[in-house]
Structure 1
Amino acid sequence: MKDLQKKVKDLANDVEDEVESQVLLVREKDEHIRTEANERLLKILQQAIENIDSLKQELNKQTKNNKLQARNGSVGHSYSPQLDVSAIENNMVGYNFEQELMLRKLTGDSSEMEVISIVGMGGIGKSTFAKRLFSDPAVVSFFDVRGWITVSKDYSLRNMLLSLLQYATGVKEEINPQDQENDEEEKNKNAELADRLQKSFKGRRYLIVVDDIWCRKAWDDIRLWFPENNKASRILLTTRILEVARYASSPKDPFPMRPLEPKESWNLFCQKAFGKVDSPTKFKDVGKIVVENCNGLPLIISVVAGTLSSTTALEEWNEVAQGVSSLVNVDDYQRCSRVLALSYNHLPSHLKSCFLYFGVFAKATEISVKKLIRLWIAEGLFEIRGHGDLEKVAGSLLHDLIDKSLVVVSKRSLDGKIKTCRIHDLLHDLCLREAESENLLYILDPSASEPERIVPQDCRWVSVCSYQGCFSPFLAYNKTRSVHFSEYMGSYVLLGQDHFKLLRVLDLGRLKWTYAPRELSDLVSLRYFAVRSSVVIQYLPIYRLLNLQTFSFLLDDGSPSPTKTMQLPNGIWKMSQLRHVNCRSIYLNSPPKISADDSADDAKYRVLENLQSVTGLSPLCCTKEIFHGIKNVRKLGISGDSDEFYREPKCLDNLIYLHELEALHIEFYHGYFRYGSRRCLPQPSSFPPNLKKLTLHQTCLSWESMTIISRLPKLEVLQLKTDAFGDSTDLDKTVWEVTEIGFPELKFLLLEGLSLDHWTAADDIFPCLERIIIRKCLRLKRIPRGFADSMTLQLIELHQCCSSLVNSADRIRQEQLECLGNDMLKVEAFDTIRVKERKIRAPATRGVRERTRPQWRI
């Protein structure tokens, strides 16, 4: 089947290449060229149809053979449940709190049958944790019957039924091959066994572990075997798929298996490597690095430690410290890979492509979700029908990979959306191996000789993680779809159409460009173009790139404000596919008129219908005409110096024309906000009607202006960053007094780097607020007592704040607990600043989680 799958992919890629090549020629001005291209295109499609029909016949034949082999292979195999359970290692380290919690669930007071799901990525220790619970003395004494079945992807209902009957009755039965002569007889026999099993459970309290289940259908196939007998019976289920865990769990949500904390990881490593809780001195430093590279995955820690336990050569330890893929025992490394590869093999084909794309990023890096989704869209890795939202579809695919425990969430935004994600190093190795085997990805080795840097024929993705000098493509690049430079610092790139005519993605990383190469305009298939440069390039010929979806040009000169504003060409208004424009500071000319009436009031202008986000827009561009041209934009960032805002004092009132706008970011460049910046908010009636998120940075507003913001009817997220209100150089005390009922829908509030001394609010303000984050507000000593009556507040998170503010937050938490009986509110403090005069450090306030370093959150 793998060979057949490769034939299908190769055929699809070849047809795609040939069709796109002819489409480029169909657009030529020369009529003779267009005619020949159309004729060739017809022949290409006719031949493709014949090849597809041939492959379909081969596929049908192979599918029938596979079904026959699978049926014959399942006959005559017995199943030993005791062997299965005993094979699971049970010397788990860590998870002590989780074990106590789970034991209370298993032996709780509820008499109803409950299904408890444990979910997590492969190798994280789900089965080991379940075995730890399965063998706990409290569980052994509580249940009359305990049974264990392993489902896996290719499960046999007959084997599982016989296994459970052996647990329940103590009698072992063998499969009679004659019972599986046809499907109908097999169903009847299974129904008979299921009936016997249900009767054996009658009047008895049972615990059944359903290990390694992969799909909802598998649970549907077995769920009726377990009767509700009001005896406090339990089903403990383990899976890698969150969807399955949610589907099966009843009555509560699944239990997510977390990675090991650093201390737990170190203890497990030492136990496996040295048989004790500490290491010899000479291995301690390098051992810490090895453990860190394992990223809290118990399987990898155990295998690495077991491998290193047999060697005392420090050089071999240092080799493994460079990455777990450098295991000295190749067999052990492959064993780990096979465990993780099961999750990949279970993916549908479109999700496999999305997952393999993680290989273009450098190992152990956090990946921007926004960037990842835009790259997936540009590459065309998934199909969408009709007029669906591309970003939403791509986002759902990412959530699928997260739910299948292949991708880990690293950071979230204030409103809980995923900002960055990552994959485990071993999964990254899996991406590289699978993508290279399918001739999808080539990683350019900077240390290789020039002949070895030739990309293999037909390779689709090229990733250059680190490379100095001139990058000159070879002819083999003519079918490449994307080129990524992660940390490229060269001075020139040859981008000729002869080599890159079908290129869709060009991510140039950090360049020392002083001008744009002429060949850029030849890349007419380009959909994603991103570059960081130390200087503004005034002329970028992107107007010819009519397929471009994402354009990102960011300055990387280290200065807090740009030296110049980039002026985009007028031809940008013809780029109908454009979805995202991301720059530090850009200037747009008004869109051309498309109506016959030239009067200012009635004229119609060209509209970029697909444009979703624009960042870095100059205040001088905040005109009615331009906002009409980008009327569908959902996210807008406006940034400039105060002189630009001063020249157009009412420019932001034009935001009223952006009816689809949901997120607005307004920023003054550092050092310019003193002159005329007090007027950088729209009139209350001129705010976009659907605004949900507002970020202000260095706007230096007066706190009285907050009354305007408080009236926004749909505002859910408010972020006030450095000097958004007040002035850090002002020594006078500043007060934010919230007196009127406002902020009707606000859920998330961020205060960062503000010169705020006092904050007061009545108890009925912020009726929907769920989360408050305060960072580096050194002058703020107290949080309003009115929050003690809030029934919605769930978290107060404090970073680098004074101890009195932390104590104030904890008093609110205690009042909620004592007066309202509400234990929902949590207080977390990071890097708390203590008063210098105090010689004795006070103990951490009870209930406040104090930390000095970030933590992984799941």
Structure 2
Amino acid sequence: MTEGLVTFLLTKLAGFIQEEERLLTGVKEEAEYIGYELQFMLVFLRAADAMEEYDDGLKVLVQSVRDVAYDMEDILDLFRLRLTRDHGDKFCSSVQTISNSIITLKARRQIASKIQALKSRVINISEAHRRYLIRNNITEPSSSSTLTPRVARPGNIVEEANIVGIEKPKKHLIGWLVRGRSEREVISVVGMGGLGKTTLVSKVYNDADVKKHFRSRVWITLSPSFKEEDLLRDIIQQLFRLLQKTTVPQGVDSMDSDRLKNVIIKFLQQRRYLIVLDGVWHTDAWDAFEPVFPINNRGSCILLTTRKTEVAVTACIEFPDKVYNLDPLSPEESWNLFCKKVFPNSHCPKHLKDVSERILGRCEGLPLAIEAMSGVLATRDRSKIDEWEMVYRSLGAGLEDNSRWRNALRIVSLSYYDLPYHLKSCLLYFSIFPEGIPIQRMRLIRLWIAEGFVKGREGMTLEEVAEFFFNELIQRSLVQVVEATSYGQVKTCRVHDLVREILIKKAKEQEFVAIAKEQNMDWSEKVRRVSIHNARASMRRIHGASRLRSLLVFWGTDSFPEPHKFNSLSSRSRLLTVLDLEGTPLKEFPNEVFSLIFLKYLSLRSTMVNSIPSSISKLQNLESLDLKHAQVTELPADILKLQKLRHLLVYRFETESEDQILNKHGFKAPDQIGNLISLQKLCFLEADQGQKLMSELGRLIHLRRLGILKFRKEDGRDLCSSIDKLMKLRALSVTSITESEVIDLEHLTSPPQFLQRLYLTGRLERIPDWMRSLDSLVKLVLKWSRLREDPLQFLQDLPNLVHLDFVQVYSGEELHFSHKGFKKLKVLGLNKLERLKSITVQKGALPSLQKLVVEGCKQLQKVPSGIKHLAMLKALDFFDMPHDFVKRLRPDGTEQGAARSFLRMPAVQFIKILQMLPFDMPYDFMRKIHPGGDGEDYHEVRNVPEIYCTYQKNGNWEIYYNYARPDILLKRRPDWKQ
């Protein structure tokens, strides 16, 4: 980490000397000397940074270098602050005038004095450094191998995990769930961190049989410092989301705990449900949530994971046989996982087998430790056994005498030390975020850039370099994917608890960040970053952190001060570059922010701020302004002075109908928006402010994502002219001002070559010819198009299309998917095609399709013809479909039919199958099931693992879950024949 800090400082120092050469007359030589000495020590620091433990002498030396680097950065920034504050914007344009001023002369003398004092410290450190090398007989290492950081391979990094050793416990837990008692049961999975408890339970939770058995399912992650009301609201949101069209009760956001609990109890009382509580740390957490889930004698279940046996036993006190102790992997399973992760063909070369087995023995069957070790070895030369022996030796001796937990920590720590310096800072940044919350990928990337962790590379933007860093951390198994898009792009991520413990320890040692969880928590005045998690009084301590560069506030009202206390932020924290106030109850833009002239990243996302003052122009270094889900609807013209602005997000979603349809709201942009020449992301500007606005967009040649609302037909020619110039564009979204307004994009002659995502919401007279040339397109969403021609023939040859959504796109009666069409399509959505009567899928079409969603197609008479040929299809979702359509999908073709003949089965078998059903129906109702099995379309979809149908009946929404036939169930579970 110190290596990264010094590298960052050297870059900053070199730039400062070059830019302010005249201002530094008399001290230039001292500054250059400091830079030279730090450069001399840099290679040695790189070697030290890769060491797992320092001796006392090296620890003092590294700390001294870190202090000097911090102090030098402070001197440079305070000098710039003084000049900028005294001379304002003129500083940047009139250096000669400033250098002749009396005030500047005083500032020059001050910086000269401070740099001379710093030079003396650097001389002492340099002498101590040389003495250390001589005393320890260390030769200065070569820097040739460390100057070029390793970069991850490009491409999608989200793949199906190769889970080893999980099938047996998964099958065991599923058996407990679907063949349990009628009373509500509790199941505990207990084991140390790194064993894969969450992975196992996630696989169980998403299993097709489990989904079909439990109509209502909820997954809640309990961090040690969870907020009960937030989790209760999350439970309600998940429960009602499963019902698709059912509206969440009004006022949930303002309810207290008791009222929230009543909503949950009322909802679950008559339903069979599955609740997963992941990561229950204390019995108090169990005691708080257990009463929320009613005992309803419908076969419901609570499944929890915990590291503590005490918690597992307490939760299962009435079901002592339902405590599942997750064991480490067997030697065979460990070896299989190790080989899959380390060797391209899963085969270990003979010359590496012995050392691999010894290394693997240190992992002691912990999947996370094996994953981390694999990440280390994957970067080693497989032809050089000595490199692998060095890894083994670095694990240290005598580990057999330590606990398995300490061993795992040691191994995962090795994967941290093995990182190149540019990734260490990026990984340490995960320690800033509260435990248990998914972290947005793009938020992380923008923060890394603002912090200075990412340096430019030829032919790449900073965002692209940061993306490579992010991917490499995932490939090294240090960062886990939480949510990804259908086309493989990561949306949110997290780090494992084991990794998190290590990062927090390292961050504290290196004074990387102070994490404020308690009101009276203290931190060093040298701290550069503060992360406030859960302490209202913590903001009072900010005024003492004069070196603060980054402030991030989490968890809303419990951690944010009254507005009048915010002035402490600007009075002493003048060097702030990152200010993240996402989700705080801020109602007005804090004027104190305007004094933070070095600010690069400002997030007011999900606040109540509704206007941006013209003084925003003072933030000349601002690169990211995030106002997503705030209440801002217009930006002042002064924002055009922010020439470094790269990301501008100003939009929100609001629910404006009983159908829970989300409407998007953007902002009114200044006329000359093209002045923001550095913009890469601009979302969402409103186009009805004059035609010149669309022409202005052509000046934003660095744009990668563009969102436009309230588009009019007459804007089409100007927008096309602008898009022709935006060759770096990756995502484009255009929404017309009304449903009937035409989106005229016929004039586009040179569509962006690398366009990956396209969203067009409005009338299309036809599919534009240029759309066929979008070879990089992975996602296409068309809405309100109302085309008369079948659009499939124009789109089926797009080579990389993965996700296609149609909403009111086609007014014809037939859709025909041709042979070899849509080769890579995985997700297909067909919504509100009102006249559609039939869908035909030729054999060989849609070979990769995994999910098909059909909604509101009221004239559709039967399931797509040929759907049985879709071998990869995993899920069918039919929403708002007519009764007759749903009846054709059921095994017996009746309205209430749910399965084939049960009446011919033995009573015991009949009851067991009843327990598999997704309906909470009484026995008398089930006796009415028709034994004929003559649902006309059932044979077409019988092999699809998951089928969901939502339809209206007597003014209410009903849900039908299909499931495997009884004979298939018997094949899967032969013990049921008894």
- The TM tier, using the shorter chain, reads 0.5 to 0.7
8 Å contact 2:707–2:732 — kept in the other structure?
A: yes
Which one of the candidate residues 530, 537, 547 is aligned to 2:611?
537
8 Å contact 1:495–1:520 — kept in the other structure?
A: no
* Cα 1:554/1:153, change in 2 over 3 Å: farther
The residue aligned with 1:7 is: 64
5 Å-filtered alignment, 1:52-71, equals: 52=122, 54-59=124-129, 61-62=131-132
Q: Please identify, of 411-420 and 648-657, the stretch whose mean Cα deviation from structure 2 is larger.
A: 648-657
C-alpha deviation, 1:340, in angstroms? 2.5
Distance in 1 of aligned mates of 2:512 and 2:680: 30
The residue aligned with 2:504 is: 432
C-alpha deviation, 1:507, in angstroms? 0.7
Letter in 1 for 2:785: F
C-alpha deviation, 1:436, in angstroms? 1.9
Which one of the candidate residues 777, 795, 803 is aligned to 1:716?
777
Letter in 2 for 1:827: L
C-alpha deviation, 1:506, in angstroms? 0.6
Distance in 2 of aligned mates of 1:376 and 1:33: 35
8 Å contact 2:514–2:530 — kept in the other structure?
A: yes
Task: Give per-residue Cα distances to partners, 1:380-422, cap 9 Å, x unaligned.
Answer: 1243366742111111111121121100122223432222221
Which one of the candidate residues 308, 317, 332 is aligned to 1:131?
332
Q: List alignment gaps of at least 5 residues for structure 2.
A: 1-53, 88-97, 140-163, 171-192, 197-325, 338-346, 361-372, 393-401, 652-665, 880-884, 888-894, 900-937, 949-960, 962-978
Distance in 1 of aligned mates of 2:386 and 2:847: 39
User: Is structure 2 residue 498 aligned with structure 1 residue 423?
Assistant: no
The residue aligned with 2:212 is: none
Which one of the candidate residues 551, 556, 560 is aligned to 1:488?
556
User: Is structure 2 residue 841 aligned with structure 1 residue 785?
Assistant: yes
Distance in 2 of aligned mates of 1:353 and 1:436: 13
Letter in 1 for 2:409: S
Which one of the candidate residues 365, 374, 383 is aligned to 1:220?
383
User: Is structure 2 residue 759 aligned with structure 1 residue 696?
Assistant: yes
Distance in 2 of aligned mates of 1:679 and 1:509: 37
Which one of the candidate residues 670, 674, 678 is aligned to 1:589?
670
* Cα 1:351/1:513, change in 2 over 3 Å: same
C-alpha deviation, 1:40, in angstroms? 3.5
5 Å-filtered alignment, 1:106-121, equals: none
Higher relative contact order (CA 8 A, sep 6+): 2
Letter in 2 for 1:623: L
* Cα 1:63/1:346, change in 2 over 3 Å: farther
Distance in 2 of aligned mates of 1:646 and 1:469: 54
Task: Give per-residue Cα distances to partners, 1:784-825, cap 9 Å, x unaligned.
Answer: 424x335x84333235779998875742335xxxxxxxxxxx
8 Å contact 1:635–1:664 — kept in the other structure?
A: yes
Letter in 1 for 2:624: T
The residue aligned with 1:287 is: none
Letter in 2 for 1:356: L
* Cα 1:129/1:655, change in 2 over 3 Å: farther
Distance in 2 of aligned mates of 1:835 and 1:657: 47
Distance in 2 of aligned mates of 1:223 and 1:529: 48
Q: Please identify, of 354-363 and 521-530, the stretch whose mean Cα deviation from structure 2 is larger.
A: 354-363
Q: Please identify, of 357-366 and 805-814, the stretch whose mean Cα deviation from structure 2 is larger.
A: 805-814
Task: Give per-residue Cα distances to partners, 1:115-138, cap 9 Å, x unaligned.
Answer: xxxxxx9766999455347799xx
- Equivalenced residue count is 597
Task: Give per-residue Cα distances to partners, 1:765-801, cap 9 Å, x unaligned.
Answer: 8566443333767977865424x335x8433323577
8 Å contact 1:467–1:488 — kept in the other structure?
A: no
Distance in 2 of aligned mates of 1:128 and 1:516: 54
C-alpha deviation, 1:65, in angstroms? 6.0
Distance in 2 of aligned mates of 1:440 and 1:349: 14
Q: Please identify, of 375-384 and 33-42, the stretch whose mean Cα deviation from structure 2 is larger.
A: 33-42
The residue aligned with 2:599 is: 526
8 Å contact 2:672–2:696 — kept in the other structure?
A: yes
8 Å contact 2:695–2:721 — kept in the other structure?
A: no
The residue aligned with 1:578 is: 645
Distance in 1 of aligned mates of 2:463 and 2:536: 35
Letter in 1 for 2:61: L
Question: Any idea what SS the aligned residue of 2:748 has?
Answer: helix
Distance in 1 of aligned mates of 2:503 and 2:120: 33
Distance in 2 of aligned mates of 1:750 and 1:740: 13
8 Å contact 2:832–2:855 — kept in the other structure?
A: yes
Task: Give per-residue Cα distances to partners, 1:22-74, cap 9 Å, x unaligned.
Answer: 121233327223223234434545555554455455445545666789xxxxx
C-alpha deviation, 1:222, in angstroms? 2.5
Which one of the candidate residues 874, 886, 893 is aligned to 1:828?
874
Distance in 2 of aligned mates of 1:134 and 1:688: 50
Distance in 2 of aligned mates of 1:361 and 1:37: 38
Letter in 2 for 1:12: A
The residue aligned with 2:571 is: 498
Which one of the candidate residues 574, 586, 603 is aligned to 1:513?
586
Distance in 2 of aligned mates of 1:475 and 1:696: 46
Letter in 1 for 2:611: I
Distance in 2 of aligned mates of 1:687 and 1:591: 24
User: Is structure 2 residue 664 aligned with structure 1 residue 632?
Assistant: no
C-alpha deviation, 1:469, in angstroms? 8.1
Distance in 2 of aligned mates of 1:521 and 1:152: 59
Letter in 2 for 1:795: L
Distance in 2 of aligned mates of 1:391 and 1:18: 29
Question: Any idea what SS the aligned residue of 1:420 has?
Answer: strand
8 Å contact 1:664–1:693 — kept in the other structure?
A: yes
Distance in 2 of aligned mates of 1:154 and 1:627: 57
The residue aligned with 1:191 is: none
8 Å contact 2:165–2:333 — kept in the other structure?
A: no
* Cα 1:128/1:414, change in 2 over 3 Å: closer
Which one of the candidate residues 111, 131, 139 is aligned to 1:41?
111
Distance in 1 of aligned mates of 2:75 and 2:133: 30
Distance in 2 of aligned mates of 1:147 and 1:739: 54
Letter in 1 for 2:628: L
Task: Give per-residue Cα distances to partners, 1:537-588, cap 9 Å, x unaligned.
Answer: 14252211111110111235xxxxx7x6212333x33322211111112233
Distance in 2 of aligned mates of 1:428 and 1:811: 46
Letter in 1 for 2:477: S
The residue aligned with 1:725 is: 785
Q: TM-score, normalised by structure 2?
A: 0.53
The residue aligned with 1:84 is: none
Distance in 1 of aligned mates of 2:866 and 2:568: 57
Distance in 2 of aligned mates of 1:67 and 1:810: 73
The residue aligned with 2:81 is: 24
User: Is structure 2 residue 725 aligned with structure 1 residue 682?
Assistant: no
8 Å contact 2:716–2:744 — kept in the other structure?
A: no
Q: TM-score, normalised by structure 1?
A: 0.60
The residue aligned with 1:798 is: 852
* Cα 1:97/1:497, change in 2 over 3 Å: closer
8 Å contact 1:457–1:476 — kept in the other structure?
A: yes
The residue aligned with 1:149 is: 354
Distance in 2 of aligned mates of 1:51 and 1:385: 33
Task: Give per-residue Cα distances to partners, 1:227-256, cap 9 Å, x unaligned.
Answer: xxxxxxxxxxx99xxxxxxxxxxxxxxxxx
* Cα 1:846/1:336, change in 2 over 3 Å: farther
Q: Sequence identity, in percent?
A: 21
Distance in 2 of aligned mates of 1:49 and 1:154: 46
Q: Please identify, of 360-369 and 122-131, the stretch whose mean Cα deviation from structure 2 is larger.
A: 122-131
Over the residues paired in the alignment, what is the CA RMSD in angstroms? 4.7
C-alpha deviation, 1:96, in angstroms? 6.2
Letter in 1 for 2:550: S
5 Å-filtered alignment, 1:320-359, equals: 334-359=406-431
Distance in 1 of aligned mates of 2:538 and 2:714: 44
